[in-house]
Structure 1
């Protein structure tokens, strides 16, 4: 049994800091942006849905190329720091003057940065700990990310209630500096760039010719394509539930709306922390699919309860279910893509492409729900999202296989995996 070196432990803690502070930077995006705009002149649910869609849409054509870049480059820390800085800047400029042009520019900037952030953090983690420890590390990172979301949402909500919503955006932007500093504390020589792209470690390779597979191997990977499509459908159902609910509570009073939105986010993020830890501790023993089915099953229940809820307190209580669904799905998706591409050397481009498909659902969700909300009301929009969630659950159960390899199951006597080989 071996333990991590002090240098690796410090770098892993720095990566935890990246996930924590990055969540603070991103806390103002999406739901808080909708609350900020809902009582502004010329902004209504349909317009807000369209503008939120733009941020996700910009990445649809860039996800796969960004993944290919991450596969190829050894400057992963620079990509991470640059994308975090761009997100911070986009979060700041949205407060300068909330015109359609300015908000569109901000969403485009943060959308471009978002294309890089998820895959490059996943690649750095995989390159540092290796595939056998990746599930545990992903759960740990997600736990820190959710903790950061709790802090960021509390800061944005309290600032919006006590001072102004703009102050919340400014503070969120300030956290971008801490993301860059945390990134610089990660030792670059600890990132094995071959392992980070999904190739086998040298000592696990069947022979000395361990090279990346051709791109066509991804198109022939039917389980990967099905997984991406099903999760994309889940995102179509899930993406707009929180924003339109927050906008409903915010109509007529942006300050109270900011406080309600903060409560909606915080209650979910608090529940997401133990869910991420569950994936870290049990994802290898129990398998990926049972936990993913649970994540999908709670979404239609949440949609129905949102429709039935009459008071802000009830709505906030229902939002706790998002902690179960999004908490599990967020951690499991990257792990399952890594499972399905192990040994191909194409993990990051596969993750980027799968994220693109997932992002299509997330990007279309606010526009779909906003249009239905504007035409037929909040209840109709939520019923539509709930129906999509039911379809996604059925397809997951019937079409998506278990992805965990038998070799991933840890021995009963030890939870400690070997330390990865450091490669410059």
Structure 2
């Protein structure tokens, strides 16, 4: 699943530029649309996963749809078919992360979730690393089209792999973090009910701030490498991604274990690394040093990927809205990441890379302080202490 859920987006821009001869504006629109759609559909997708018992079928269906979208990219060079296919990719991507987390929770329960999520993320990063290596070799020695056929193969393999999970092993009530006597019901005020919980609200804002500081860094580092050594910039960037993913494999496993002694102090490390990394990027020009610095992202992202899901499970325990909360948080993350890329690009264009990375460092410092001062320790927290939506409506009225 590691590579499938991204819909080969990282290679699509190069394919459209070098093989299809698209202009940068068209490519930018097509690359942006999955993220925009994802921001809009994550909460309803999470709510759907809370209420359905066909979680395996959702994963299989999403994988087959992405396979079809890859075929459209290969067979069509026209703007609108590929635009629509990428919008569909954004729609289907929204089910992967919450579905796998829900199935994991439904199988192992809260007590074992941190270990399971750590294992999930270790294999996720290992898959990303191996897929990047294979795709890079295919693109270099076969063709760019071969990368998309490789993705189709992964989609089919994923669909078969999901069937290995036994339906009887999944407790669907537990999978949405419901209490023992709670049954799934339709709740149109679910998002409002979650965000009227102060702990959930500040946690969601903190996750968005993390990506507001983080998302623009790697693309800007890639651009900076291109200015220093245009011929080998893609090689440096690929090395940075592969090295970071390799670090994440081990960090994810370790983070799941130490988070049993407290989630917040482990997540704090990921936040603290944000401004450090940004400052280093601002003042380093050597491509080898830039590549090595990206290893810090392996530590931060490895921690974030594991502990964020565990904290979401803590905050939603007993509410029956685990997957809805995942959707809300992922939407906030997507929004933060989108703004980061836009704002980071504007600042760099106007004032240069040093100011651009310095600005991201400032956001990282603010996000770190916000997290440390306002977000509580979630282990053993009472997640059900929410302000009722009707009370909030009365107050607003």
TM-score clears 0.5: yes
Residues in 2 aligned to 1:266 and 1:160: alpha-carbon distance in whole angstroms: 16
Residues in 2 aligned to 1:86 and 1:251: alpha-carbon distance in whole angstroms: 38
Query: What is the CA-CA distance between 1:392 and the residue it aligns to?
Result: 0.9
Residues in 1 aligned to 2:9 and 2:352: alpha-carbon distance in whole angstroms: 20
Query: Structure 1 151/289 Cα, relative in aligned 2: closer, same or farther at 3 Å?
Result: same
Aligned ranges 1:136-285 → 2 under 5 Å: 136-200=115-179, 202=180, 208=181, 215=190, 216-249=192-225, 256-285=232-261
RCO comparison, higher one (Cα < 8 Å, 6+)? 1
DSSP-derived class of the 1:401 partner: coil
Query: Structure 1 181/197 Cα, relative in aligned 2: closer, same or farther at 3 Å?
Result: same
Q: For residues 321-343 of structure 1, what are the alpha-carbon distances to aligned partners after superposition, in whole Å with 9 as ceiling and x for unaligned?
A: 11011110111111101101111
Residue of structure 1 in register with 2:267 after alignment: 292
Residues in 1 aligned to 2:75 and 2:47: alpha-carbon distance in whole angstroms: 35
DSSP-derived class of the 1:132 partner: coil
Query: Structure 1 86/263 Cα, relative in aligned 2: closer, same or farther at 3 Å?
Result: farther
Residues in 1 aligned to 2:77 and 2:352: alpha-carbon distance in whole angstroms: 25
Name which of 318, 341, 344 aligns with 1:369: 344
CA contact (8 A) 1:38 1:251 kept: no
Number of equivalenced pairs = 378
DSSP-derived class of the 2:111 partner: helix
Residue of structure 2 in register with 1:340 after alignment: 315
Q: For residues 252-278 of structure 1, what are the alpha-carbon distances to aligned partners after superposition, in whole Å with 9 as ceiling and x for unaligned?
A: 999845433321211111110111101
Is it true that 1:302 corresponds to 2:281 in the alignment?
no
Query: What is the CA-CA distance between 1:134 and the residue it aligns to?
Result: 0.8
Residues in 1 aligned to 2:139 and 2:242: alpha-carbon distance in whole angstroms: 15
Question: What is the RMSD of the two structures over their aligned residues, measured on CA atoms?
Answer: 2.9
Query: Structure 1 235/396 Cα, relative in aligned 2: closer, same or farther at 3 Å?
Result: same
Residues in 1 aligned to 2:372 and 2:47: alpha-carbon distance in whole angstroms: 31
Is it true that 1:357 corresponds to 2:332 in the alignment?
yes
Q: For residues 142-172 of structure 1, what are the alpha-carbon distances to aligned partners after superposition, in whole Å with 9 as ceiling and x for unaligned?
A: 0000000110111122233334444334323
Residue of structure 1 in register with 2:389 after alignment: none
Q: For residues 366-404 of structure 1, what are the alpha-carbon distances to aligned partners after superposition, in whole Å with 9 as ceiling and x for unaligned?
A: 233333444444444333322222211111111111001
CA contact (8 A) 1:144 1:273 kept: yes
- Note the residue ranges of structure 2 that are not aligned, 5 or more in a row: 383-397
More deviation in 135-144 or 311-320? 311-320
Residues in 1 aligned to 2:140 and 2:65: alpha-carbon distance in whole angstroms: 27
CA contact (8 A) 1:35 1:258 kept: no
CA contact (8 A) 2:236 2:288 kept: no
Residues in 1 aligned to 2:295 and 2:21: alpha-carbon distance in whole angstroms: 32
Name which of 389, 395, 400 aligns with 2:375: 400
Q: For residues 334-373 of structure 1, what are the alpha-carbon distances to aligned partners after superposition, in whole Å with 9 as ceiling and x for unaligned?
A: 1101101111111111111121112211233223333344
CA contact (8 A) 2:5 2:93 kept: no
CA contact (8 A) 2:177 2:313 kept: yes
Residues in 1 aligned to 2:41 and 2:359: alpha-carbon distance in whole angstroms: 29
Residues in 2 aligned to 1:397 and 1:107: alpha-carbon distance in whole angstroms: 38
More deviation in 333-342 or 32-41? 32-41
Residues in 1 aligned to 2:264 and 2:244: alpha-carbon distance in whole angstroms: 22
Residues in 1 aligned to 2:75 and 2:357: alpha-carbon distance in whole angstroms: 33
More deviation in 151-160 or 70-79? 151-160
DSSP-derived class of the 2:38 partner: coil
- Note the residue ranges of structure 1 that are not aligned, 5 or more in a row: 1-21, 203-207, 408-424
CA contact (8 A) 1:123 1:197 kept: yes
Query: Structure 1 119/391 Cα, relative in aligned 2: closer, same or farther at 3 Å?
Result: same
Residues in 2 aligned to 1:295 and 1:155: alpha-carbon distance in whole angstroms: 29
